[in-house]
């Protein structure tokens, strides 16, 4: 593991690390924010952020404004990259497939399967890496984890929380792709990564997963009503209907005037961090 960045931020440290991922078979970068409480020796919960299409760890740590609220609530923030990367990693010329577009699942199809295992990376390997990074610096985390994300990362946050009950204690999303098996972004990625059998796609579709969820973790979702992808790709009304039918707790807020950008994310970051802190610091 090698530290690439180390910057003071709201009384804590914003770091960027790179490590050799055994799950993805390539180097991976991650952002790690240590709040003042962690630097003072307190064990802090860890909140994982999953970014959207084309993003790296840099988008969140430089644009979301999350550090000040993580500092207030004593949360460690972890922001991994969105996919495996490198010359030996399969890619596509389009922005919505391949590097930068991992969709937080384990690919089963060639040429993606050897590297594109983002579900295993986020759920299993990444917490081990974070634990090692904290120990190396003399800090520690509690056993409580939260997860949130934006767009493709919102899809990842919802599906990973639903697919792994008990692993996460809080979840939220900004403008998530809630029904990827029903929209162009998801159909393209799922066909490539998982094959043409649409029944296999449902295991990575939040709307489909809600019906049989064994854990009723409350969902907080913010969506801008001026989002250019609202009708064609995001369709939050499908998640609302699925949650109503299943009796799954959902707070869905349609925010007037907001688009798909980090201006939107930064505007409501304080409320999302507070949502997670209430559960993680309980």
Residue-wise pLDDT for 112-170, tens only, equals: 999 999 999 999 999 999 999 999 999 999 999 999 999 999 999 999 999 999 999 99
Which of the residues 151, 170, 175, 181 is marked catalytic? 151
How far apart CA 69 and CA 77 sit, in angstroms, is 10
Indicate if 151 belongs to the active site: yes
pLDDT range class, residue 282, cuts 50, 70, 90: confident
Mean pLDDT, residues 254-275: 98
Given a cut of 90, whether residue 193 has pLDDT beyond it is: yes
pLDDT for residue 143: 97
Which of the residues 73, 139, 204, 260 is marked catalytic? 260
pLDDT range class, residue 269, cuts 50, 70, 90: very high
Domain boundaries, the chain: 2-281
Q: Are 202 and 208 in contact (CB under 8 A)?
A: yes
- The rounded percent of the chain whose pLDDT value lies above 70 is 100
Over residues 18-44, the pLDDT tens digits come to 999 999 999 999 999 999 999 999 999
2-281: CATH superfamily: Alpha/Beta hydrolase fold, catalytic domain (3.40.50.1820)
Which of the residues 73, 227, 248, 276 is marked catalytic? 227
Indicate if 139 belongs to the active site: no
Given a cut of 90, whether residue 64 has pLDDT beyond it is: yes
Indicate if 275 belongs to the active site: no
Beta bridge partners of 9: 12
């Amino acid at each position: 593991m090698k530290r690439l960045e180390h910057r003071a931020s709201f009384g804590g440290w914003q770091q960027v690390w790179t490590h050799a991922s055994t799950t993805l078979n390539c180097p991976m970068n991650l952002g790690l924010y240590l709040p003042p409480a962690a630097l003072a020796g307190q064990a802090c919960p860890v909140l994982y952020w999953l970014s959207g299409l084309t993003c790296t760890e840099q988008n969140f740590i430089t644009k979301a404004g999350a550090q000040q609220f993580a500092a207030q609530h004593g949360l460690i923030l972890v922001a991994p990259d969105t996919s495996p990367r490198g010359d030996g990693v399969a890619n596509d010329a389009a922005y919505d497939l391949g590097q930068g577009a991992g969709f937080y699942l384990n690919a089963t199809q060639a040429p993606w399967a050897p590297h594109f295992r983002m579900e295993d990376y986020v759920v299993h390997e990444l917490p081990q890496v974070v634990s090692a990074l904290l120990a190396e610096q003399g800090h520690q985390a509690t056993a409580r984890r939260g997860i949130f994300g934006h767009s493709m990362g919102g899809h990842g946050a919802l599906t990973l929380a639903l697919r792994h009950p008990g692993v996460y204690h809080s979840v939220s999303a900004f403008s998530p792709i809630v029904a990827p098996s029903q929209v162009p972004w998801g159909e393209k990625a799922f066909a490539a990564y998982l094959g043409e059998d649409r029944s296999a796609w449902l295991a990575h579709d939040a709307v489909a997963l809600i019906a049989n969820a064994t854990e009723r973790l409350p969902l907080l979702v913010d969506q801008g009503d001026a989002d250019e992808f609202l009708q064609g790709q995001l369709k939050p009304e499908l998640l609302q209907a699925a949650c109503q039918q299943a009796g799954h707790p959902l707070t869905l807020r349609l925010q007037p005037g907001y688009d798909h950008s980090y201006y939107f994310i930064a505007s409501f970051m304080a409320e999302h961090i507070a949502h997670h802190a209430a559960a993680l610091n309980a």
